[in-house]
Chain A
């Protein structure tokens, strides 16, 4: 039973890490209806830029991170101006495709600037089991994961404040609800989209730093996006709390499945299990748990 809880906790904490990546997708989809496939590339771009700045210019990490933040904000606005603005009102799939093109571009660009070697990123958070928990219950709970979960909670809180309490947030919500109506009351759509992409860039930076310090900063960071997709499906593409809940569900269930079902079918099921689970969820709720219900009229 203790082992069960250990797996469950490890899963929930991994789930928070997935949710962190999923948040970036949600922000952009909510505001502009674009399924941003480049989110994974943005995570990689941000992490490598931060580490690159730190190592190549001998900066402290606490200087490199704000600098990268600036880079990500500029990048967000640039993407809006160069890629999205000319594609306004195009079919969803065209926009999706454009973000795939963007993925290639960003991957090439960042490796061109900083090289393709694997880099180490040390945030100063030790990745060891928490002693207190271990001595009391005998369970190993990673300190790093708990702190990461804390950071994620802070991020969600900040985003919630941004969305609900600020003027920009109101504009964002207005655009998310109805582009046309928002435009007609004078909200500058392009500007709002730029902000959303910039915020998504910063979310990518946070995700990139945490994932990068866990796994090393390397190309494989782009793959964490694949872990975020089932989270999105379950939570709904348009819901910030959905991303968190979805992350927890996916994280816990994929670990439990791998550990308790995996051995009977040859293991390695973590790759597809979350997707199948998400699919089953969708059969009951086609727009995810927290997604907006789409009412279809003729």
Chain B
């Protein structure tokens, strides 16, 4: 008898008691709005990611906050819907002394608030999605596609496939299928894949899957007909599990499939069952266990404050991604405090500077209890991304395992050139003069 509802209701009583105490002391708290989605098509990913972020907040608070400043937050359900997301943003941006930063984890909402950010002076992180050209902080001062963008990821994918084939030059004449979600998201890597197609000489076959992708027989028949060397799976949600299963029924080896990081979580492989064994995807977290996750287990879940209803999901891909995001936000706030005054509540503008000057090297990762959990990151005004490195992981039937021991980097110079061109076009359209904001 472990009904989720009953469990949730018992947790509720605790939560109700704690909200009363937290509202009493909002003066010295750093407020972070959480635009989460826990219902709808992508609920599984949303609850894992935002659960991870909140778990990390609880851990930071349990350890005394950021130089004594506790974090407070409020959730607002966006249903992954742009207008609901905008409403949430508008509702929470001024609350409790003002929002520190936002992370909508959804392209539509991110676009919806994009133009509002510079006006409200609130930074937004888009970790692993959104506009790739937002890495240029001179044109997008308030947007931070932290760690890596889609473009760098696509370049990293080709690099990995090249390594697999025994060198990038060996890709010449190979066939690579790009099986993508037929939307802005799926089309985002086109420029990179096409540019590399020209320089490396592989043959790129693009096959779209109509939303939501519950049926992919025709796509996989096409793939079987083309008989490619590799398939890049650029999907999200139900589309991934269906792709893996349909690959299995068409006898396509899963080892030759390489998924985007939105296709690389437990939620994508578990429903596919045994068919998913050997399936590889990109990731920016090394799967495994880390001191910080143990600490969350002990201090947060041990105290009954854990956000995930199902404890088995602690340390799962989305959960770890949420922890990583929260960790980088807190680093940003800490940076800002170092510059503008320790133990004070920071404004969005100050945190923007903090996020622009993140420097998490291996030493800092060890201090955070997250050594090698994500690549080292160093942001600057020119580079809001800070890394560009990715890893490849494989599903062994039970859990994700890292394939590549080192972080891999694609053709960064090429991607940077594309970022510069694309952001310049945006700046011209919007009549923005690119410039670094002063600290």
Contacts and interface: CB of A to CB of B under 8 A. Distances in A.
> Do chains A and B directly touch (beta carbons under 8 Å) in the complex?
yes
B5 A112 contact: yes
B231 to A, nearest CB: 15
A144 interface: yes
Contacts of B238: 215-216, 218-220, 223
A223 B182 contact: no
Contact of B39 (A107, A221, A269): A107
A56 B3 contact: yes
Contact of B219 (A108, A116, A258): A258
A271 B272 CA distance: 23
A217 B275 CA distance: 16
B267 interface: yes
Q: Which one of B3, B214, B217 has the highest number of Cβ atoms from chain A below 10 Å of its Cβ? A: B217
A115 B309 contact: yes
A224 interface: yes
B80 to A, nearest CB: 11
A111 B39 contact: yes
A216 B269 CA distance: 9
A267 interface: yes
Interface stretch (B156-164, B201-209, B426-434): B201-209
Given A113-B4, A127-B245, A259 B275 contact: no
B42 to A, nearest CB: 8
Nearest to B213: A220
B211 A120 contact: no
A87 interface: no
A109 to B, nearest CB: 10
B208 A266 contact: yes
B248 A127 contact: yes
B210 A127 contact: no
A80 B230 CA distance: 52
B218 A258 contact: yes
B212 interface: yes
Contact of B221 (A119, A259, A268): A259
Interface in B237-286: 237-238, 241-242, 245, 248-251, 267, 270-273, 275
B66 to A, nearest CB: 31
A268 B251 contact: no
A216 B221 contact: no
B38 A116 contact: yes
Contacts of B307: none
Interface stretch (A2-10, A27-35, A170-178, A285-293): A2-10
Contacts of A56: 2-4
B215 A116 contact: no
Contacts of B219: 258
Contacts of A111: 39, 43
Contacts of A144: 249
B123 to A, nearest CB: 29
A296 to B, nearest CB: 36
A14 B270 CA distance: 23
B242 A215 contact: yes
Contacts of B275: 127
Nearest to B216: A270
B22 interface: no
Contact of A223 (B212, B222, B313): B212
B185 to A, nearest CB: 13
A181 interface: no
B41 interface: yes
B173 interface: no
Contact of B249 (A112, A121, A127, A258): A127
Interface in A250-287: 254-255, 258-259, 262-263, 266-272
B225 interface: yes
Nearest to A273: B210
B1 interface: yes
A140 B217 CA distance: 11
Contact of B251 (A118, A121, A140): A140
B118 interface: no
A3 B245 CA distance: 20
Given A6-B221, A142-B249, A259-B222, A114 B4 contact: yes
B221 A3 contact: yes
Given A140-B249, A211-B214, A224-B214, 18 more contacts: A56-B2, A56-B3, A107-B39, A111-B43, A116-B47, A119-B270, A120-B270, A128-B249, A129-B250, A140-B250, A215-B238, A216-B272, A218-B238, A219-B43, A220-B41, A221-B214, A223-B41, A267-B182
Interface of B: 1-5, 38-41, 43-44, 47, 182, 206-212, 214-215, 217-219, 221-222, 224-225, 237-238, 241-242, 245, 248-251, 267, 270-273, 275, 309-310, 313
25 contacts: A6-B221, A10-B218, A11-B217, A108-B39, A113-B5, A116-B38, A116-B44, A117-B310, A120-B273, A122-B273, A129-B251, A140-B249, A140-B251, A214-B242, A215-B271, A216-B271, A218-B238, A219-B39, A219-B41, A220-B41, A227-B215, A268-B208, A268-B210, A270-B218, A271-B210
Interface of A: 3, 6-7, 10-11, 14, 56-57, 107-108, 111-122, 127-129, 140, 142, 144, 211, 214-221, 223-224, 227, 254-255, 258-259, 262-263, 266-272
Closest 3 CB pairs between A and B? A216-B271, A271-B210, A220-B238
